[in-house]
Amino acid sequence: MSMTDPIADMLTRIRNAARARHRRVDVPASKMKASIAKILQEEGYISHVRMVEDSKQGTLRIFLKYDTQQSCAFRGMERISKPGRRVYVGREAMPRVQGGYGTAILSTSQGLMTGIQARQKGIGGELLCQVW
């Protein structure tokens, strides 16, 4: 069975693992998923990511981050641009997620970056997802 939206699958796996209070979640690896996970780590939503090699494409092992009350470091994740409806934003229309408390992840001509980084560089791109 082929998967039409692997990024949405990754975000759903992370959301489900956080709701079930799992310590880690495994996701089939790709370069884009690894870049998204790296941004999530830099922004403080997950603790760290490890690449697990296997005979196929590999697996990203994502370790979730919780506080002392066992609340996850993020409240929500939402896929914005989908295979059936791509969403592109220019530098003027860059979204502010939750009034600046969240993070927008964009795919630009200079690679994946947060909305704040894209705004500082003055470039736009495809709005992949939002995390808050």
**Tell me, what's the pLDDT at 2?**
59
> How do the pLDDT tens digits run along the chain, 132 residues long?
557 999 999 999 999 999 999 999 999 999 999 999 999 999 999 999 999 998 889 999 999 999 988 899 999 999 999 999 999 999 899 989 998 899 999 999 999 999 999 999 999 999 999 999
Task: Clarify whether residues 83 and 58 are in a common domain.
Answer: no
By CB atoms closer than 10 A (0-12, 13-18, 19+), residue 64 is buried
Residue 57 domain boundaries: 6-64
Query: Is 53 within a domain?
Result: yes
For residue 81, being part of any structural domain is answered with yes
Q: Read off the CATH number of the domain in which 121 is found.
A: 3.30.1490.10
CA angle in degrees (0–180, nearest 5) for 109-8-63: 95
